[in-house]
A = this chain, B = another copy of it.
Amino acid sequence: MDERAALALLDGELEAAGDDAAVVDGLVVTTDMLHERTDFPNGTTRYTAGWRAVGASVSDVAAMGAKPTAAVAAYAAPEFDRDELLAFVRGASDVCELVGTEYVGGDLDGHDEFTVSTTVIGRTDDPVRRRGAQPGDVVCVTGTLGRSAAALEFFDRAIDDDDAFLERANDLFRFPPRIAAGRALAPHATAMMDSSDGLARSLHQLAEASDCGFAIEADRLPIDNAVYDVTDDEDEALELATTFGEDFELVATLPEAALSAVRAATDVPLSVIGSVREADDGLTMDGEPLADRGYTHG
């Protein structure tokens, strides 16, 4: 059974599951586990790891249109190095500060592989779900796509620890979770999730939850400039931006008339990338079926 089948199984068991975060009693709560081998490439600093691990869970809270209340992390490693641990905590604290919440610590644990589990709690009286997209709505994405794909390439290119590529990679890896944008979108969005598994997969998940189709226009995708630093090929750039994932941008549907109100409420760029269609119209990009490919988190 792969991860998605297992998640589907769990969704059947648990009423509150099946969205970016569970909703209980006015609270949203989300948890993620990240591992060195699959999530932190060689050269990822512990500061970046702390930022990114906590940021990933903050992003799930953003995707519900909620305001984060607190973040915790369980930090497991073969040994506890003072500088590494402090760097991790500072990364975690800094990403929390950026979005106006508090990193309140967590658990420490001996483990063969550096592994981090993060949980973020948020509040909202009116969470935005994955279901609710209406034909005629526009589809938007915050920020840019492909940052993490470019970061991976820079991690690969780095030769030693002082490498400028490493700095660039770490910088790209420390994404800003879209809390403010999520709050601006929340009153208007009919459906929302984050793009952690890639834009294509996120669209498929929204389509399934909302029972709708999407017509996406490739030339409207906000591909990050960093992608063009790692490839000159437009097809490859598009592929990286749509299927690589791990960008933690928000993908939302909303009535076109609400766009100006949302844009007035946040500084984060919001790109319209297409429109919501009937389920029978399928999920297309430039008229061709957009495959359900993406990053299945290992």
Contact = CB atoms under 8 A, between A and B. Distances in A.
B1 A31 contact: no
B72 A105 contact: no
Nearest to A30: B72
A194 to B, nearest CB: 13
Contacts of A82: 1, 6, 9
A31 B74 contact: yes
B13 A86 contact: yes
Contacts of A72: 22, 29-31, 119
A35 interface: yes
Contacts of A70: 16, 22, 24-25, 27, 29
A69 B25 CA distance: 8
A105 B115 CA distance: 20
Nearest to A82: B1
Interface stretch (A106-114, A132-140, A182-190, A236-244): A106-114
B80 A29 contact: no
B13 A104 contact: no
Contact of A115 (B7, B32, B69, B111): B111
A102 interface: yes
Contacts of A1: 79-82, 85
Tell me the number of copies of this protein: 2
A5 interface: yes
Nearest to A39: B109
Contacts of A111: 33, 35, 113, 115
B33 A86 contact: no
Interface string A62-82: 000000011011101001111
Interface of A: 1-3, 5-7, 9-11, 13-14, 16-18, 22, 24-25, 27, 29-33, 35, 38, 69-70, 72-74, 76, 79-82, 85-86, 89, 93, 102-113, 115, 117, 119, 121, 297-298
List of 5 A-B pairs having minimum Cβ-Cβ separation, nearest first: A117-B117, A17-B105, A22-B104, A16-B104, A119-B119
Given A1-B81, A14-B104, A30-B72, 16 more contacts: A2-B80, A6-B108, A9-B85, A9-B86, A14-B105, A22-B104, A27-B69, A27-B121, A31-B106, A31-B117, A33-B111, A109-B298, A112-B113, A117-B119, A119-B119, A121-B121
17 contacts: A6-B85, A9-B82, A10-B108, A13-B86, A14-B89, A16-B70, A17-B104, A17-B106, A24-B70, A29-B121, A31-B119, A32-B74, A32-B107, A33-B74, A33-B115, A38-B110, A112-B112
